[in-house]
A and B are shown apart, each in its own frame.
Chain A
């Protein structure tokens, strides 16, 4: 099963839409609730990253009996140093984003913790692609 969602940069009102939709699908498929929670945490962080940092993005979720594969691709400023971005507590979020309780530098670490395989690729001034695979059993 494949699902596609779009994200607008800066539009926090829709952050969580894809996660919520994927959660419903996984529940219907009777996936273990602990596994669903991990997937949803990682996906939500990914959505928020696009809203907070990029201009626009696209999410593709591909679910089969063994695993869920999510690809989040954005057009945005990109990440110059991915290792640094993966460091807990490191953030480049704006003041406005931080005031809402985002941008604490926990996004990518949360994603790493909650996926089985995480791959981040990025090109400065072009955008970032995040690929996450989590096994359902």
Chain B
């Protein structure tokens, strides 16, 4: 499924790379605030749901070829995080919902 369809369906905010939503293919999601957990277990093409708000999130997302990052609970990405996101071409998205609700809604789309 294209990232743009997920953004539309779930009413997500787009903080960066809005021009890339059309190209990115999403295979599912992964919810975690532990970077090593995501490093070890997330799969290419997944959307990462987290409350971690720093540049290293983008390093992990890029190394794992993730589709996008969703920041939960109305968190706004810090400047370095956003900058890195533009460099890597991986969109940072946002929602007012908490991780449990966000994961549930994304899960429904894929199951």
B63 touches A41 (CB 8 A): yes
CB-contacts of B26-75 with A (<8 A): 33-37, 39-40, 44, 50, 52, 54-57, 59-60, 62-65
Q: Do A41 and B56 touch (CB < 8 A)? A: no
B35 in contact with A100 (CB, 8 Å): yes
Q: Which residues of A have CB within 8 Å of B55?
A: 12-13
Is A45 an interface residue, CB under 8 A from the partner? yes
B80 at the interface (CB under 8 A from A): yes
Are A45 and B56 in contact, CB atoms less than 8 angstroms apart? no
CA of A33 to CA of B43, assembled, Å: 12
- Asked if residues A37 and B64 are in contact (CB atoms below 8 Å), the reply is yes
A92 interfacial by beta-carbon distance below 8 Å: no
Q: Which residues of A contact B44 (CB under 8 A)?
A: 33, 37
B39: chain A residues at CB < 8 Å are 41, 44-45, 106, 110
Out of B35, B37, B40, B80, name the residue touching A113 (CB < 8 Å).
B40
